[in-house]
Amino acid sequence: MIKEAMFYEKIGDDKVHCSLCAHRCKIASGKRGFCGVRENRNGDLYSLIYGTVSSEAIDPVEKKPLYHFFPGSYVYSVGTIGCNFRCKHCQNWSISQVCLEDAYTKDILPEELVERALLSDSKSIAWTYNEPTIWHEYTYESAKLAKEAGLGTIYVTNGYMTPESLKHIAPYLDAANIDIKAFNEKFYHDIASAKLAPVLEASALAKELGIHVEITTLIIPGVNDSLDELRELSKWVYKNLGPDTPLHFTRFHPQYKMQDLSPTPVKTMENACKIATEEGMKYVYMGNVPGSDRNNTFCPNCGKMLILRGYFDVEKYEITPEKTCPACGENIPIAGEYGGSKHLPDDDRF
């Protein structure tokens, strides 16, 4: 669906300046922004994807991954078309990099979206699978309705948003998993066609605005796996987001245009977790390595296992209702209540 865009200004000669994401595109009449889904029509900017859904599923919140936000609950997840990055390793390239006209989608208006989430018995709605920032007109209006209905709201995001757009949605956004893809500008330029600095700025601002933030970094062999770089990343998160911030290191598997690489060695993953812990991070997790203890939550004070996880599901939860360790009383930073164990319906993707 088409809707006039937010966050743009007219700059003469029918050109517009978009300020939704950090690319801050200047777009001539008849052209689209870098995201491919915001089009200038005779000097007015339009979103081409309002309510346009490409993917829909009910996921464990741990799959986002969010380990400290309503653990054990399910989240109604939706994605659209397009992205403001060009990641060569994107696992969802079939929706993020496809032309809108070539994609199979259906329209779900905000009211119906909230109704579907409630009927699914989900605790939250997540805008995920591709970059939610470019869907702002829709996510903003949907998030307002979701909050009125008592649902949590989640962004799974690359963090490439402007301070203006982040501040706009922040009152209605409860949680964000922000992907800091690497801690060097060369990676962002060569692999994602973007810049690192705006991602760091948005991550710090999200924390400041009271959004629950968890950080994910996919470690790619020979690309962003330098131990020095991982240490600098850990130091930055510690200093700017705090030691209680969940930090997820995820194992790379060959995808899209980077299928010539090998999966990340488990030893590299272990070293990354060790480094982050050395730098003071209290909750460091290892993704895509089934069976690792680094998938579980331990008390940073006494070492007691507090949350035992399977591949995604919570198998055991021992944090007290007061959100403390039952063994030593340490405060454990969990946003929301334990969601409990429920049957996960089959994915409804189309």
Q: Which residues are annotated as a binding site for [4Fe-4S] cluster?
A: 83, 87, 90
Exposure class string for 276-288: b at 16+ Cβ within 10 A, else e: bbebebbbbbbbb
* Other C-beta atoms lying within 10 Å of the C-beta of residue 315: 11
Q: Which amino acid is at 148?
A: E
Q: Dig out the tokens for 299 from the structure.
A: 């008390």
Q: Which residues contact 226 (CB under 8 A, 6 or more apart)?
A: none
How far from the centroid of its chain's Cα atoms is residue 328's Cα? 32
Residue 160 and residue 178 in contact, taking contact as beta carbons nearer than 8 Å:
no
Distance CA 116, CA 176 (A): 21
Q: Which residues are annotated as a binding site?
A: 83, 87, 90
Closest CA to 73 of 109, 122, 120, 24: 122
- Residue 211 amino acid letter: I
| 271's tokens | 């070293």
Q: Which helix (H) or strand (E) holds 94?
A: helix 93-96
Closest-CA residue to 127 (of 161, 103, 86): 161
Between CA 214 and CA 207 the distance in angstroms is 10
Query: Helices 266-278 and 227-240: crossing angle, nearest 10°?
Result: 40
Give the Cα separation of 276 and 268 in Å (integer). 12
CB 117 within 8 A of CB 89: no
Looking up tokens 């402007």, which residue turns up? 162
Q: In this structure, which long-range contacts are made by residues 95-102, counting pairs with CB atoms below 8 Å and at least 24 apart in sequence?
A: 95/54, 95/55, 95/129, 95/130, 96/129, 96/130, 96/131, 99/36, 100/36, 100/37, 100/48, 100/49, 100/52
